[in-house]
Every structure is written in structure tokens, then in C-alpha cells.
Structure 1
Amino acid sequence: MRSKTQLSCNLKLVIISLVFLFFFIMLFKSSTFSFSQPPTTTSNTNDLSIISSQETEKTTKLPDCPSLPLTPTCTKNPPSLASALIHYATTNITPQQTIKEISVSAKILQKKSPCNFLVFGLGHDSLMWTSLNYGGRTVFLEEDKSWIEQIQTKFPSLESHHVVYDTKVHQSDELMRSGMEQEDCKKVSDPRFSKCELAHKGFPSEVYDIEWDVIMVDAPTGYFEGAPGRMSAIYTAGLIARNRENGDTDVFVHDVDRKIEDKFSKAFLCEGYLVEQEGRIRHFNIPSHRARLGRPFCP
């Protein structure tokens, strides 16, 4: 009896020991797992928040820059402009007009171009006029046929026509008198059919058919008695301007420091149409007389 009781007590002790050992092992594993996890603290969370806010602040403080095209485009200079730049950069010959005089007509061309631009005279400034009227039509009327050939060889893109004048500088007083006295010289009509002695009838037909927006009278030659003079050029330019269907024409006369250019421009382009004068160039703005019938020849 004593041995059985002793055995029973020993068995209970073993079982209790095993249970205790099992709980001890489980407790040890739990502690080891918790120590292996990275500690999560409030300071770490705050640090992450600060870093995030700093990155956001950097992004929002970037300057506003204009967006650039993904594929940049390049626009070439017009051929006439490129030719003009090269020509005037490599020559010692300057245009007949000063920079202030050129600026008067350049201002009008800037406003009206591309337009129809008629120029009396083919000179060293012709390439410049064509460039200033880029996209429009610029036509030159020249008295010297050999000079036209020289210029066309150098600048074949310029459009020029040879014209012949049947007047002389020494006839200017007589032509002025007849122009002021003849009633036909105060009538607005196609110059080809005008009975006025001053009207030039020998220009190419397109000169009369086109409605010119700007006209420059810087020819023919007029500085000596046997030269053609600009009497008929000035009168015909004014008649062409008045004879357009509507709108107005800006007419420029150069060398108004000379007697003929001064008197004929005032008489037949009219002081009432005079806009401005700079140096030796005079600017007139002449409205259509066909658009409003009954206009006097000069206002």
C-alpha cells in the first residue's frame, strides 16, 4: 500500500513539472518574438511626417516656368531679306535716301504690307524696298535699259520695266502752266485716256490696271536741263491714286528740295493731301475719287 501511494505521488509531480516546463517554453518564445520586432515610436512617425512635408514644400516652391515645345520650330528668313542683308553688309554704296527719310515710307509699308508697291526708279535701295514689302508685289519703272540689265543680273528676283519719258527738265515751266490751266488735267480718269499733256501713256498696261497701295517717285533723272524730269511721273502717280476704285494710296516724292519736285508735288498731289515731310521726302495720302464722286481734284 505504501509503494502504490508513493508511485501515485511521483506521477503527479512529473505531470506538474511537464506542464510547468511547457508554459515556460511558450513564455520564452513569446519574449524572443517581441524583442525581434523593430520598435515603433511616436518620434519616428513625426520624423516621417516632417520629411514628407519638406518634400511637398520643395515641390510647391518651384518657380512657374513657361512650358517649352517638345519639338522647337525654326522659321527661315525670307530670301529677299537674306539677300538684302548680305548686299548692304558687303557694299560701300548707300541708298539715295537717309535713314530718317526711309523711315517715313518704311512706317507705311509696315502697316500696309504685303501690298502693291510701285516705285519710279531702280536704284541701290531697290532690294530694300522689296524686302520691306515682303509677300507683296513691288514693281520698278526705270528709264535706263542698261542699268536694268545690270541690276537684273545681280538680283534677278526684282521686277522692273523699262519706260521712256518724252519730257525734258527745261520744259517744266510750260508743263506746269498747261497743267494748271487745262481743264482736262483736273479730271480724274485712266491716264491712258487722259487728254492732259502731263499724263504718261506709255507705261506697261499692268501699271494702270493694278490698284497701288503705295507709290514712290524717285525717278526719272531730273538734275540737269536735258534730263526727263519728274513732271509726268508725279502727275501720273497722283492720277493713278485718285482713279482706284476705293481706299487710299500713300504717295512719296523724293528730292523735294529741287524746284520741279517741290512745285509739281504740291500742285498735283495737293498740299491738302500732304501728311508729312522729312528732309527731302514728302508724303501724301490720296483717297479714291471714284469711291466718292464730286471730289475736287485738290481738297
Structure 2
Amino acid sequence: MPPLTIDALAEQYTDEIQLAPPQIEMIANTVRGRAPGCRLLVFGLGRDAGMWQRLNADGCTLFVEDNEHWARHALQRHPDLQVLRVSYAGRTVASSLPLDAAVRESLAAFPLPPELERTDWDVIVVDAPFGFDAGCPGRSLPLHWTRQLMGPHTHVFVDDYERPLERTYTDALIAPRCAHSLVVRRPGHEMFWGLGLNSGFAGWSVVDAGGRAQRLRWLLNTTRLRLLWFHDSVEVIPQLAACGLLDGRTHVLFSFSWHRDEAALRHLRRLLSGDGVVQRAAQLHFLLNSAEELAAFRTLVPGFDAMHFNNASLIDPRRFVPATGARRFQAVLNAKPLAFKRHELSVQVPERLFVSYDVQERDEGATRRVDLDALGAREIRRNLSAEGVAAALGEADVGLMLSAAEGACYASLEYLLCGLPVVSTRSLGGRDDFYDPAHSRVVDDDPAGVRDAVADLRARLARGDITREAVRTRALARRRAFLDALAARLQNVVDAAGLPLQAARLLDEAIAEGSKLQQHRNFWVAQLRPPGHVTPPPATDA
């Protein structure tokens, strides 16, 4: 060890220090490796404070402490310590587990202290606050803040990694971001050591069909396993292989909005036949919206992994809940004003509400514009936010789905989550996965049949034969079944990579961060762009 390290340990080390000598030596060598000028952040002002201060005498050391007794005791012995006093009020070990969406939201209520944010830390040691029983504050906030403070070359040490909170938070928040990590073990005690940010997909971008570029999103990005998810983007498959993104540690999921007919599946088979793709067949996973599409896939695209997963299951159900107010409308149809949505089948239903949107589709064929004003709805509301849609659904008795072919159909599940029974025509694409004879009616393409089915469901609601909570509960159960099936498939991939992650939790948390996986899926991608890509200027005539 360097002389300063030896001197610091000789002067300051005592048997009262809880860290074992090998752990101290690892941290000490890391600090001195960044000397002079190492920026050291230590969560916890314990009996080792003087040792860290002496060890980093030619650098900057800041201690973060919530316990006033420990702060006074340490400052009496070492008055020159730099200490940031914080409060972990409201945090306990018990309330910090499991690390679900609600707990993540509660962490967001504790912003990063500006005193920590303005420094690029070389080494961060998380060794406080107390976390030995359920009532202790626990280290949820220090680990949450550490995730935000990590830089490309930051070393992170987490003591007591063998405890559930430390392991859960480190595995979820810290480890996936590290370029390298290991666990230092001694009997009954573990310490996590992570180094640097995993650059992973840094610098990669995607371009959608409209020419808009944005960063490449991912579901998981670690040194052992990377999970990418593309939606309606099969054209990128040859590019994935050609550009090197489809390496041995990368798995890619593909989901779809629209029904996959035979022509679409044959086109997909051609894309999958290229160089470098067949060899990676086990790393490509296709999610089909209906059992019929899955059967056709297995016939037409053999040798590739696929499963029945209804894309609507990625809706965050917290956004859509049954309302308690008055119901002004007998039925609502939430759909773009396009011909294939078949609004005209609702004309015999009195007191209708149309929820509609501006569209960019070509005004021809199935996407021909429809004049909703001519169809006699009581009211038309346009371009609502998700909250506005949920409020509108809360004013109607029944939801309408009238297209003959579509896809999983978010709107259909949104009705059910809001407690609206559904009247649907027969359709391709999988939306009927969520229908139940108790709360749904599937009818012929006939305005009178739609009208009568709406009247029947409204009567059943009035009699109490069905309740809105029961409609929602059944929809949630079917959604959960799809997510659990996908999580089981992903868990096999995670386990094979040797990662201590729960795929079900990974999915739930990603959905909570953005309904429909908006923060983690890549939508309608036409082109991949590697780091450093420069768009050439437009050609000019000579």
C-alpha cells in the first residue's frame, strides 16, 4: 500500500471500526488510486470517520449523517470534518420493501441535496444509516441518491449487502448501471463494489417512420444482459445484426399493434432469413396479440421464439379506474375518425359519446376520414389526455368496439378497467382476450344488434347482475396472467445470465414509469443510428 494509506490506517484504525481490514484496504486503495484530489462521499459518520479523513488528506471528503448523536461525537474527536446533516424522517426498512412502484414514488419525494449534486464524486461509500431492524431508517435514500450521483468513473461501495434492503436496492438501482461489479464476502458479511457506468447503448438512436430521431430505449442494460423492446418495428431486424447490437448478451422483444395476417408473417420470415439473424434466433422474442396469430406464426416462421401476449396488458391500470359520478351517456366509442373503426354501427344507440383524435393516416381505404358530426352523437370530445379519456369513460355506461380487424386495442381494456362492460363486433387482433360473457357482448355487424346489446348490459348493471368493480377485477386478472407469462419467459433469460433480478418486478416498475412502456419501448422504428452518426446534408442539384 502507498505510504499515506499505511500511515492513515496505522494512526486511525481501531477494533471499534465495523468494516473488516480487507474491506477497508479495498476502499483505501481505491481512494488513493484517485489521489491527489479524490472526491470521497461517505454516507455515515462512524468511528471510521477520522480514518477516511486522514486517508484522503489531499482530497475532498464529505460525510452525510442523520443521527445528531453520531455527528456530535465525531466532530468532538475530529472538528475539521465536513458533515452534511440530512433527515431520513418517514423512511424505515419496513416501508422501503418491496421496491415496487409505490415505494419508488415515495423516494421521489426526497430530492437529491444540492450539496451532493454539485460534485462529481470519485468514490461513494454507503455505510449508514442504521438498518439492522424493521424500524430503522434503512439505506433506501442513500442508495437512491447514489444512483443519481454515479458518474462514468465512480466507485461505489455498499456495506451490509447481505441484508435484504441493501441487496434489493443495490441490485435494482446500482448494479445494472455499473460497468464492473463484485461482492466481497467474509463470514456473515458482504460488501458490494461497483465501478463506472455501463455505457451499453449510450449514443445509439432510432429514427421512426416520420423521420423523427430519439435515443434508443431499453428495458434492461447491464454488462451481462441487455433487453431491447421494439414495437411495430420489424424492419430493424437486419440492421440489428448488421450493426452489431445483436451480440451474445442482447435479447430483443417485438410487439405489435395490428393483427398479423399471413402476408405480414411471410414478410417477417424474409427479414429473419438474413445473415447474422438466424444464428441469433434464440435471442429474438415475438409477442403475438392472439392465440390464432401465434399458431400462424409457428407454422410460417418456425425456429423463432414466440408467445401469446396481449399488448394491451402494458397499460398502467392506475390511470383507469371506475368513476362514481353521474353517467350522462349510454355508451362511449373511443376511436379515431377512420373508416375501419365503423362508427356507423352505433347510430341506433341513443345518448352516445365519441372520443376522437386528429389523425395523420392517409385518407383512403380503411383509413378514410369519417365525418363524426353526421352520425348523431350527443357529444364529441377530441384530443383528450389520458386523464381526460378516463374522465370521459366515467360518464358512460357501456364501451363500444366496432372494428372488424385491429390489434390488442388499448381502448377496449381501458373500458374494462374503468368498469364499463363492452359491446364488440367480431374482430381479429386479440381484444376479445379480455372479454367475459358476464360483462361483454359480441354481436353481428348490425346497428340494431349493437343497440340491443347496450340495452342488455345497462339493464344488467341496473339490476346489480354485474358491478363495475367486478368488471375491473376480471380485466386485471387477465392482464396479470399475460404479464406473469411474459415475466416467466424473461426470467429464464435473466437466470441464464446469472442476474439476481425478478423479471416480474422489472416489468411492473417499467410500466409504472410510463404506461404502455413508453419509457422503455422503441415505437415504429425505421432505422437504427450508431453513436457519432451525422445526418448528411440534403443533396443539391449540380
- Give the structure-2-normalised TM-score: 0.34
Structure 2: where are the runs of 5+ without partners? 204-214, 223-542
Which position in structure 2 is the counterpart of 1:277? 183
Partners of 1:227 and 1:197 in 2: CA distance: 17
Structure 1 partner of 2:118: 209
Give the one of 252, 263, 281 matched to 2:168.
263
Match of 1:30 in 2: none
2:12–2:51 CA contact under 8 A, matched in 1: no
SS of structure 2 residue aligned to 1:197: helix
User: Paired residue for 2:42, among 119, 139, 144?
Assistant: 119
Name 1:167's counterpart in structure 2.
91
For 2:120, give the aligned amino acid. E
Sequence identity, in percent? Answer: 27
Letter in 1 for 2:97: D
Distance 1:123 1:94, change over 3 A: same
Matches within 5 A, 1:223-234: 223-234=132-143
Q: Which amino acid aligns with 2:194?
A: F
Q: Distance in 2 between matches of 1:239 and 1:116?
A: 16
Partner Cα distance (1:84, 1:98) in 2: 12
User: What is the identity, as a one-letter code, of the residue corresponding to 1:137?
Assistant: C
Assess if the C-alpha contact under 8 Å between 1:115 and 1:213 holds in 2.
yes
Secondary structure of the corresponding residue to residue 248 of structure 1: coil
What is the aligned length? 199
Runs of 4+ in 1 over 3 A off after TM superposition: 80-88, 199-204, 291-298
* Residue ranges of structure 1 left out of the alignment (5+ in a row): 1-76, 186-195
Cα-to-partner distance string for 1:1-55 (whole Å, 9 max, x where unaligned): xxxxxxxxxxxxxxxxxxxxxxxxxxxxxxxxxxxxxxxxxxxxxxxxxxxxxxx
Equivalent residue letter for 2:144: Y
Taking a change above 3 Å as real, the CA distance of residues 212 and 102 of structure 1, as seen in their structure-2 partners, is: same
Q: Which amino acid aligns with 2:193?
A: H
Distance 1:200 1:163, change over 3 A: farther
Match of 2:244 in 1: none
- For residues 136-167 of structure 1, the C-alpha deviation after alignment (integer angstroms, 9 at most, x for no partner) is 11000111112211211111011112111131
Q: Quickly say closer, same or farther: Cα 1:298–1:127, change in 2 above 3 A.
A: farther
- Report how far residue 288 of structure 1 moved: 8.2
Structure with the higher helix share, 1 or 2: 1
Q: Identify the residue that residue 39 of structure 1 maps to in structure 2.
A: none
What SS does structure 2 have at the residue aligned with 1:146? Answer: helix
Supply the distance in 2 between the matched residues of 1:272 and 1:207 (Cα, whole angstroms): 19
Q: 2:77 aligns with which of 145, 149, 154?
A: 154
1:168-187 alignment to 2 at 5 Å?
Answer: 168-174=92-98, 176-178=99-101
Q: Deviations over 1:101-139 (max 9, x none)?
A: 112222211211231111000011111112222211100
Q: Is the 8 A contact 1:200 1:236 kept in 2?
A: no
| Structure 1 residue aligned with 2:30 | 108
Q: State the superposition RMSD in angstroms.
A: 3.0
Structure 1 residue aligned with 2:461: none
Question: Which residue of 61, 69, 74 corresponds with 1:138?
Answer: 61
1:67 corresponding residue in structure 2? none
Contact 1:254 1:282 in 2 (8 A): yes
Deviations 1:196-232 (A, max 9, x none): 4324736642211111111000011111111111112
Q: Which residue of 2 aligns with 1:220?
A: 129
How far apart, in 2, do the equivalents of 1:160 and 1:119 lie?
Answer: 10
- 1:287 is matched with 197
Q: TM-score scaled by structure 1?
A: 0.59
Aligned mates of 1:272, 1:163 — CA distance in 2: 25
Counterpart amino acid of 2:127? D
Work out whether residues 216 and 251 of structure 1, in 8 Å CA contact, stay in contact via their aligned partners in 2: yes
Q: Does the alignment pair 1:252 with 2:157?
A: yes
Pair 1:118–1:278, CA change in 2 (3 A): same
8 Å CA contact 1:164, 1:202 repeated in 2 = no
- Separation in 2 of the partners of 1:179 and 1:231? 13
Correspondence 1:14-53 to 2 at 5 A: none
Secondary structure of the residue that 1:147 maps to in structure 2?
A: helix
Find the aligned partners of 2:79 and 2:6 in 1 and give their Cα distance.
14
- Once residues 283 and 145 of structure 1 are traced to their aligned partners in structure 2, the CA distance between those partners, rounded to angstroms, is 28
Partners of 1:206 and 1:140 in 2: CA distance = 11
Q: Distance in 2 between matches of 1:249 and 1:109?
A: 11
Q: Aligned partners of 1:232 and 1:268: how far apart in 2?
A: 11
Paired with 1:248 and 1:292, the residues of 2 have a C-alpha distance of 15
